[in-house]
Amino acid sequence: MDYKAIIAKYRDTTGGILEAFNAVQKELSYLPEEVIAEAARIFNIPAAEAYGVATFYSMYSVEARGKNVIRICESAPCHIAGADEVIAALERELGILMGESTVDGLFALEFTECVGQCQATPVITINGEPFFDVTAAKVPGILAKFQK
Amino acid sequence: MINLNIDGINVSVPKGSTILQAAKEVGINVPTLCYHPDQSVKANCRVCVCEVEGYGLLQAACSTPAAEGMLVKTRTPKVIEARKTILELILANHPQDCLNCARNLNCELQTLAEEYFIRDIPFELRTRGYEKDISTFSIVRDPDKCILCNRCIEVCSVTQSVYALGTENRGHNAIVVPTMGKSLLDSPCVMCGQCIHACPVGAITEYEQLDEFFAALNDPNQVVVTQIAPAVRVAIAEEIGMRSGELPMDVFVAGLRQVGFDYVLHTNFTADLTIMEEGHELLDRLNNNGTLPMVTSCSPGWINFCETFYPDLLDNLSTCKSPQQMFGSLAKTYWAEKMDIDPASIYSVSIMPCTAKKYEASRPEMQDSGYQDVDLVLTTREIGRLFRMSGINFKKLAGANFDSWMGAYTGAGVIFGATGGVMEAALRTVYEVVTETELEDVNFTAVRGMEGIKEAEVDLNGTVVKVAVAHGLSNARQMMEEVKAGESPYHFIEVMACPGGCIGGGGQPITKTNADREVRIEAIYVEDENCEIRKSHDNPEVKTIYEEFLIKPLGDKSHDLLHTHYKAKNKKYL
């Protein structure tokens, strides 16, 4: 992946470093050091500052992680609706714990704050796409769509 | 002017002033922690909160502008209670090991905890559990003690333009880290240690090495020799309860003998020697189309900076070693010979105002004597600790003289300690060497003082030499950008990494403000005025070393022992 070309596209955009990080992360699922360093160069800021931006937003990861990022809401409404069982099912199906990535590099499991879909709890998102009224039983079916 | 009332006292302040500034105007002390008088307002610690009539919430005095008719109360029970809670919350994340902290009794958080009689902290102690970073062996970071005031980040980026520090993560996960969250050694850190002065607590300190000094003292086969840097004498007084400059040089020397140094010599001697070598190097470059402007090389933080950020301009640096390293190579050659001491038995300790000097002494190329030229670098603060534990009463101690051959010095060596000093010392010598006439007035006042960049012109027999002085690395960067663009009008530039020069070095007694640095600068020029000899080339021991050993400036021996080379640092991330 030519991350340099992706970053360069946003050179003249105000706040372009965020756009560039979004675009790269869409491809790689995380922001490697050389991407942060290249962004610092293109946007003419110190690497320490670019790294600050990359770690400020919890949606960015500076550590390698699975391609499909699954986020489970850890706020109260989802918790009451049985998020724990969904978490257990995800961990079981993927064979990893929360905060980890699968060995094949396909999935990462993360927590998120409320995603604003409390009418259909528990909620999970995969690559930003929400899945509603998730139950342990629905988990294998949802994952199957991403397992290719 | 804005008129307001603070704690019942009317005060008028210029528009744009804050409540904090207005309070200070009428002698009301509002506590602060993240606030630094020489930096931008951060308002992140909240300890300066006050009641302001008309506002529902307490307001931070450091960031709230004074407004016409404002009624402020700075010491109501509500305010005191809020400040106490803020302090308790900060302390709930701060290791409670003040007794074995380098900043014990010199810590802004500890002082506030005492003033606000913090007794029981109602919150569970939860420290972050980070390891100390000793990667540079010059500066030590202890992120567990960090209170996130961001003062180190500002001094590193704004004052020094090094940008080695930044913030990682956000909210209660936020932490100050070197570039990319790596070690300080991997970051562009130049080890100037200005972050140590900026830190209100003990989160950044020098790499302490007193134990190595005691081990050398304990070894009967070691002859422990020391050199004192020009900026140390004025400031060491502050470490032993005196005012800047108050400890006379001869009493300082006697004190060093008391704590066990076998021979006490002076970096000022090699400062004078630096002037001889560097002055002639400048003349050589002027006469033979050498690379110009020539830039001074005494400040190891500056050398690190140039090697990190301007690797293409290393030819502009004077090849002269710093006075510390000139001393190091001569102590184990010339001086050992003079004293008939086996150089292998010499343990060479330098007392420096500087943290980057620790790094400089450990550079692999600094072994021209055939041994490690300088074995150990102790900061002014470490010598302060040594003096305090020695129990010496300096008011009653009789003075003593420096030892021979590398102990004599001039006022020109003394002023190396202040910004502009190397330039002034060089001009005193270069002028007389070139014009062969004596200076009527040795004071080049244009290059003195705290202004960031200073310039002057000197007429040397019809050749006008343009010089500039920069201190603080953001000012140095400005100079180097001009050089890079081929637009620098100067022939000779002095750069000191630290604001104010070495008197404000990273190893000096903790310096709260730039105003403290000016007090030390004044003391330096008083010492210069009091010196009988004020020009490096008139130093009798400098004359002797050229007659007996070096033969001439820039000669073969000088080349071997007193000059060096530089190489690009190639840091991965800047």
Q: Are residues B188 and B230 in the same domain?
A: no
Residue B172 has pLDDT above 90, yes or no: no
Those residues whose C-beta lies under 8 Å from the C-beta of residue B46, and which sit 6 or more positions away, are B60, B86
Helix (DSSP H) and strand (DSSP E) numbers for chain A: 7, 4
Rounded mean pLDDT, B344-361: 98
Rounded mean pLDDT, B346-358: 98
Rounded mean pLDDT, B219-224: 97
State pTM to two decimals: 0.95
Q: Are residues B391 and B303 in the same domain?
A: yes
B223-228, strands of its sheet edge to edge: B263-266, B223-228, B346-352, B376-379
Rounded mean pLDDT, A43-49: 97
The answer to whether residues B213 and B143 touch, using CB atoms and an 8 Å cutoff, is no
Residue B514 has pLDDT above 80, yes or no: yes
Rounded mean pLDDT, B131-138: 97
Residue B8 has pLDDT above 90, yes or no: yes
The per-residue pLDDT for A118 is 94
Rounded mean pLDDT, B313-318: 98
* Ordered DSSP codes for B242-268: --TT-S-HHHHHHHHHHTT-SEEEEHH
* Minimal C-alpha gap between B187 and chain A (Å): 9
The per-residue pLDDT for B72 is 98
What ipTM was estimated for this complex? 0.92
Q: Are residues B149 and B290 in the same domain?
A: no
CA distance A46 to B177: 13
* Minimal C-alpha gap between A45 and chain B (Å): 9
Backbone Cα Rg of chain A: 17
Rounded mean pLDDT, B121-140: 96
What proportion of chain A, given as a percentage, has pLDDT over 90? 96
- In-domain check, residue B217: no
- Name the average pLDDT for chain B: 97
**Number of domains, chain B:** 3
Chain B environment of A46 (Cβ under 8 Å): 157, 163, 166, 179, 574
Rounded mean pLDDT, B106-111: 98
* B357 is known as an active-site residue: yes
The per-residue pLDDT for B372 is 98
CATH code, domain with B41: 3.10.20.740
The per-residue pLDDT for B108 is 98
Q: Are residues B173 and B199 in the same domain?
A: yes
Report which of B329, B322, B378 is spatially closest to residue B138, judged by C-alpha positions.
B378
Last residue of a domain, one of B65, B91, B117: B91
The per-residue pLDDT for A147 is 85
Per the structure, the complete domain to which residue B168 belongs is given by 128-206
The answer to whether residues A18 and A43 touch, using CB atoms and an 8 Å cutoff, is no
Residue B448 has pLDDT above 80, yes or no: yes
Q: Are residues B503 and B408 in the same domain?
A: yes
Contact across the interface for B167 and A37, Cβ inside 8 Å? no
* B360 is known as an active-site residue: yes
Q: Are strands B139-141 and B204-206 parallel, antiparallel or unpaired?
A: antiparallel
Rounded mean pLDDT, B276-286: 96
Q: Where are the domains of chain A?
A: 3-56, 68-144
Count of beta carbons in the 10 Å neighbourhood of residue B446: 18
Residue B477 has pLDDT above 80, yes or no: yes
Q: Are residues B229 and B192 in the same domain?
A: no
* B281 is known as an active-site residue: yes
Report which of B94, B86, B92 is spatially closest to residue B130, judged by C-alpha positions.
B94
Rounded mean pLDDT, B515-537: 96
pLDDT in tens, B26-74: 999 999 999 999 999 999 999 999 999 999 999 999 999 999 999 999 9
- Which two three-digit tokens encode residue B414? 């003394």
- Name the average pLDDT for chain A: 95
The per-residue pLDDT for A1 is 77
Q: Is B157 on the interface with A (CB under 8 A)?
A: yes
Rounded mean pLDDT, B527-538: 96
Q: Are strands A124-126 and A129-131 parallel, antiparallel or unpaired?
A: antiparallel
Catalytic residue among B53, B365, B529, B547: B365
Backbone Cα Rg of chain B: 25
Q: Are residues B459 and B344 in the same domain?
A: yes
Count of beta carbons in the 10 Å neighbourhood of residue B353: 30
**CATH no., domain A68-144:** 3.40.30.10
CA distance B360 to B298: 11
